[in-house]
Amino acid sequence: MSPVRTCIVCGKKAEQKSLKRYIWDGNGPVSDDEKKHHGRGAYCCNTEKCIGVFFKAGKKLERAFRLKIHGVFRHNREKENGSEE
Ligand SMILES: [Zn+2]
């Protein structure tokens, strides 16, 4: 029996080994194919469709990785704007 995980994009449940695992590296999701990273991971179907959505999944990523992505993005924008002052 393999563990079952849920694709955060489409919500489909599948065997863990058939899904792609991503971890958060501080700037964005990076694939963790070798499963050598610890910490919170998010799973996604190994299909172009789901992977394409995965990187733009905003709130779903936020929830999956338990972080505030929008806060990070806003912070970066403020820094860019701030340099013009
Ligand atoms: Zn999916």
Q: Tens digits of per-residue pLDDT, 2-41?
A: 899 999 999 999 999 899 999 988 888 999 977 777 778 8
Mean pLDDT of 44-69: 90
Q: Which residue has the tokens 């694709």?
A: 7
Q: Which residue has the tokens 């919170």?
A: 40
Q: Which residue has the higher pLDDT, 76 or 53?
A: 53
Give residue 64 CA to ligand 1 midpoint distance, Å. 14
**% helix / strand / coil in the chain, to the nearest 5?**
35, 25, 40
Mean pLDDT of the chain: 83
Give residue 77 CA to ligand 1 midpoint distance, Å. 30
CATH top class, domain 4-81? alpha beta
**How high is the pLDDT of residue 23?**
93
Model confidence, pTM: 0.73
